[in-house]
Chain A
């Protein structure tokens, strides 16, 4: 028998997952815009409300999830297993989703599942929990879903990380998709977006 999580999940799983899915879909369709979790959640310590909502809405028994050391406490791992029934993996290259709380120790983007030209959907979606979605190193993103260009500046990534994100974009249609979360806020950065450092 599974251990029981100490924190509740969605109060109305069917409707709540659909609301979260809608917000996520908009966030991925319009990279760089800010979204907010539409449901109230009381997730275990270490997991932001938006990251938790993504987990509850998207993870199930068929999605392998990779957790970094900062997020992957026993409490969070137990909570995900109880509510989502998702298998956890220690191998980033096997993960459908990754929850990352620490940029410093995270494996490079290329270490995750990149997809295959025939099945580009078979790649990892990385969820980065950051302190804030604005105030960090600014970069300009362009691409589908973005009129002209948008400047984003989540707190955490450095120039080296952004250059890895650009490398990831250049191998389109393969590559990973990123979602930044901070508390209840979230922002999508799919592989289709091109990233350039913001001058000045």
Chain B
């Protein structure tokens, strides 16, 4: 069952799906609407809201624990050219999930990939890195060092 979706295990696909999932809905919709030619698509699975259990590890290395549940929205679409894509995104925006799925499908098309990578994925990823850096700097500024006196 992996002919058309042979990219399933590609780390690349993981990266762009992750970028689309974490980007704010407004940014994704804006980037989509700025695309010059957007292909028509049909919904294979109309957008639907649901929940996923988020697990974490203390310090990134400890035992896994259940962090809590978060709202996600998922969708699957097929482009008129035949590529299929999925979108799993944070939040409740149906439009966001649908666009993420369409972008995923476009990223699997050799013709569209480069343009979409630049106009959508690259831009969103850069914005995410910036936000992350700002947050990291703010957090670093409040860091308290605890010293233990050693004789």
A residues neighboring B (CB under 8 Å): 1, 3-9, 11-13, 74, 78, 82-83
B residues neighboring A (CB under 8 Å): 1-2, 4-5, 8, 42-46, 48, 76, 78, 84-86
Q: Which of A1, A8, A78 contacts B8 (CB 8 A)?
A: A1
Residues from chain A with a CB closer than 8 A to the CB of B48 are: 13
In angstroms, Cα B48 to Cα A5, docked, is 17
Looking at the assembled complex, report how far the CB atom of A43 sits from the nearest CB atom of chain B, in whole angstroms: 12
Q: Is the CB of A8 within 8 A of B43?
A: yes
Interface of B is mostly: strand
Looking at the assembled complex, report how far the CB atom of B17 sits from the nearest CB atom of chain A, in whole angstroms: 9
Q: Is the CB of B46 within 8 A of A13?
A: yes
In angstroms, Cα B1 to Cα A5, docked, is 9
Residues from chain B with a CB closer than 8 A to the CB of A7 are: 44
Q: Is the CB of B78 within 8 A of A9?
A: no
Residues from chain B with a CB closer than 8 A to the CB of A78 are: 1
Residues from chain A with a CB closer than 8 A to the CB of B42 are: 8
Looking at the assembled complex, report how far the CB atom of B9 sits from the nearest CB atom of chain A, in whole angstroms: 8
Looking at the assembled complex, report how far the CB atom of A142 sits from the nearest CB atom of chain B, in whole angstroms: 43
Q: Is the CB of B44 within 8 A of A3?
A: no
Q: Is the CB of B2 within 8 A of A9?
A: no
Q: Could you show 7 A-B contacts with beta carbons less than 8 Å apart?
A: A3-B1, A4-B5, A4-B86, A6-B78, A8-B42, A9-B45, A83-B45
For B42, B43, B45, B86, the residue with the greatest tally of chain A CB atoms inside 10 Å of its CB is B45
Residues from chain B with a CB closer than 8 A to the CB of A4 are: 4-5, 44, 76, 78, 84-86
